[in-house]
Structure 1
Amino acid sequence: MDNNINRYQAVIDASQVTTDDAAVQAAVDKILNEHYSENCTPEIYQFLLNCVDLTTLGTEDSESSVAKFVQRVNAFDEHYPQYKNVAAICVYSNFAAVVRSVLEVSDVNIAVCSACFPSSQAHIETKIAETALAVEDGTDEVDIVINVGYLRDGAYEELCDEISEIKNCMGGRHLKVILETGLLKTAEQIRLASILSMYAGADFIKTSTGKVYSGATLEAAYVMCQCIKEYYEKTGNVVGFKASGGIRSTADAVKYYTIVKEVLGEEWLTNERFRIGASSLANALFQSFTGTEEKPF
């Protein structure tokens, strides 16, 4: 156990990603001041729509409401074949089978929030069982929340083992690990959570649940993207970035796009590496690039 702790600590200590919050704020401001306006184009708005994980995570969700939600995605493909659809539909894990049975669009993935989302407070056996059932029901991607309690206690081995065990039951599906950056708050804690999640096997790291704590921030996105870049340079492994929580306007989406583009480069400008989790954003983007007031989603 001591060797594992030392191994994780060595990786953390070797990171050159800044943990100075003022420096992060200054870097974000500089990027946006220099590059935001050049990304406000209809073509980028269309690209961003194709990066949206269209999300419904309500207490009142039901089989019928989720089915209607999916049907709007089907209808978009029928009514607007000239535009690319959203990247995925994101629901609670118990609705994966509903989405699978209703979804008719082949290039839209099914994503679920699993492993006792949004608190991540449960036995690991429960988390694995929930995730395995969602995989059996046809999900393509799984979003889970990092065990913040382990992070706070410095239990890095337990934290990483939990992520790895969940990943191992997924049969190759993509795992997105949510850091809950609104709870972590500082660049130092966000860097720590990013590094541990990636070394434990995350295919994406994601800002927030949007359920309990404050959602995504550009500063958190900057730190996470810097960690992804550093991890790629050290290991050759590609990890995606997902922003989620409170991203509702086209302007907000473009700001996250700008951070990803300037930190990670053009290679990350694909929905296999960049996602935005949202519910109302898809309609806002559609209106921005069509100049209409239509709300297809």
Structure 2
Amino acid sequence: MPTTAAPRGPVPSDVVTSDAALRRYLHGLPGVDAVGLEARAAGLGTRSIKTTAKAYAIDLAISMIDLTTLEGADTPGKVRALCAKGRHPDPTDPSAPRVAAICVYPDMAAVAREALGAGSGIAVASVATAFPAGRAGLDVKLADTREAVAAGADEIDMVIDRGAFLTGRYLQVYEEIRQVKDACGAAHLKVIFENGELATYDNIRRASWLAMLAGADFIKTSTGKVAVSATPPNTLLMLEAVRDFRTATGRQVGVKPAGGIRTAKDALKYLVMVNETLGDDWLSPDWFRFGASSLLNDLLMQRQKLATGRYSGPDYVTVD
């Protein structure tokens, strides 16, 4: 059952012609039933997945991971090791699926591109636009994006200007997303909201629609750099937004929860949420991703347990 009402009819053609028109549209979206949203997310989290379905879900979750390192101490060696892990997550079991992408800072995109090589089936994702704060001029953000794409990034994860959004400068945020999308060229664009800083469910819903109207290929919960990152309620809200957006426009947009998802149990709860809210259409790395690093290790340990009946423990997986 939806916890937000869908907008009625198609998106008006003049919605992005002025700040006033965009504000009127975004604030005209039906309000979020916070109690219903949280109850629905909690209820979906109680679903149990067993045996063959669990094995399928674990492999699917592995294939949806953007294996990530975004630290000031990142080195080419660390990125190469992460790429090797992404290609062969479990060296003892060649049947383990590869991850969806390796996510790094722009200056490490070329290292990841070279390490993955041609035909790996793994994308290079790069954060850009002055990640994680987004405190830079548009010219700097566009240069950051172009640098990452030129270095070999297939996907760009940008952050919105939360200050502009929270003060109602929606057209400025829209234009930044649109111009970054243009700078991406053939690369896909994921737009990060930092839900913990947006504060309200209504703001998260407005940001979702704003990013999708501007051309986002994915909408993403968070940077993983603040206290509140991905949560089941705020991810459910974004899933409902992409569902309603496709109904209104015919265009499908992906969702990426990031930050705080560390266990296989948590990942499977999110997959249940996707299945119950969106169905099979979004149960693919093309449309749903996990932004994570430690999550992969727990998925691999659970996978080994299903195969052998024994829980091997963290010493049997590589440390990122």
Calculate the TM-score normalised by the size of structure 1: 0.93
- Paired with 1:54 and 1:165, the residues of 2 have a C-alpha distance of 27
Give, in whole Å, the separation in 1 of the partners of 2:16 and 2:252: 28
Contact 2:204–2:234 at 8 Å: present in 1 too?
yes
- What is the number of equivalent residue pairs in this alignment? 294
Q: Whose helix fraction is larger, Structure 1's or Structure 2's?
A: 1
1:61 to 74, 89, 99: 74
State the 1:75 CA deviation: 4.3
Residue matched to 2:152:
138
1:131-190 Cα shifts (integer Å, max 9, x gaps): 101101100001011111111111111100000000101112110001101111321111
1:282 and 2:296 aligned: yes
Q: CA deviation at 1:70?
A: 1.8
The percent identity for this pair of structures is 36
Partner SS, residue 49 of structure 2 = helix
Distance in 1 of aligned mates of 2:16 and 2:175: 15
**Partner residue in 1 for 2:6:** none
SS of the counterpart of 2:184? Answer: coil
Give the alignment of 1:71-90 within 5 angstroms.
71-76=84-89, 80-90=93-103
Distance apart, 1:289 and its partner CA: 1.5
Does structure 1 retain, via aligned residues, the 8 Å contact 2:127–2:158? yes
Quick check: 1:88–1:110 contact (8 Å CA) kept in 2? yes
Secondary structure of the residue aligned to 1:117 is coil
Distance of 2:45 and 2:80 partners within structure 1 = 39
Once the two structures are superposed, what CA deviation does each residue of 1:79-135 show, in whole Å capped at 9, x if it has no partner?
533221110000111100000111146211100111100001101000100110110
Match of 1:237 in 2: 251
Pick the aligned partner of 2:38 from 25, 44, 49: 25
The answer on whether the counterparts of 1:178 and 1:207 sit within 8 Å (CA) in structure 2 is yes
Distance 1:203 1:235 in 2: 14
Look up the match of 1:227: 241
Task: Give the one of 113, 120, 124 matched to 2:138.
Answer: 124
Cα–Cα, structure 1 residues 102 and 2, in superposed 2: closer, same or farther, change >3 Å?
closer
- Counterpart secondary structure, 2:104: strand
Q: 1:112 to 1:3 in 2, by over 3 A?
A: closer
Rounded Cα–Cα distance in structure 1 between residues aligned with 2:126 and 2:261 = 19
Please say if 1:38 is aligned against 2:38. Answer: no
Change (3 A) 1:109 1:77: farther
Matched, 1:114 2:128: yes
The answer for the alignment partner of 2:272 in structure 1 is 258
Q: Structure 1 segments of 4 or more deviating over 3 A?
A: 13-16, 74-80
Shift of 1:13: 4.5
Q: Who is 1:48 aligned against?
A: 61
Distance 1:103 1:127 in 2: 26
8 Å Cα contact 1:128/1:166 also seen in 2: yes
Tell me the secondary structure at the aligned position of residue 37 of structure 1: coil
Distance in 1 between the 2:181 and 2:139 partners?
A: 13
- Give, in angstroms, the shift of residue 11 of structure 1: 3.4
Q: Give the CA deviation at 1:78.
A: 6.3
Q: Check whether the contact 1:183–1:213 (CA below 8 A) recurs between aligned residues.
A: no
C-alpha separation in 2, matches of 1:109 and 1:2: 32
CA shift for structure 1 position 272: 0.2
Deviation string for 1:182-232 (max 9, x for gaps)? Answer: 111321111111110110111000111011242111110011111111000
Give, in angstroms, the shift of residue 56 of structure 1.
0.5
> What is the TM-score of this pair, normalised by structure 2?
0.87
Structure 2 runs not aligned, ≥5 long: 1-14, 306-311
Q: Note if 1:70 corresponds to 2:83.
A: yes
Q: Secondary structure at the match of 1:12?
A: helix
Which of residues 183, 186, 197 is equivalent to 2:200? Answer: 186
Deviates most, 88-97 or 71-80: 71-80
**Which of residues 246, 259, 281 in structure 2 aligns to 1:267?**
281
Q: CA RMSD in A?
A: 1.9
The answer to whether the Cα contact below 8 Å between 2:16 and 2:171 also exists between their aligned partners in 1 is no
Q: How far apart, CA to CA, are the structure 2 residues paired with 1:254 and 1:62?
A: 32
**Deviation larger for 178-187 or 162-171:** 178-187
Q: Does 1 or 2 have the higher relative contact order (CA < 8 Å, sep 6+)? A: 1
Q: 1:21–1:186: 8 Å Cα contact kept in structure 2?
A: no
Contact 2:240/2:277 (CA < 8 Å) preserved in 1?
A: yes
Q: CA contact under 8 A between 2:87 and 2:99: conserved in structure 1?
A: no
Match of 1:15 in 2: 29
**AA of the residue aligned to 2:43:** K
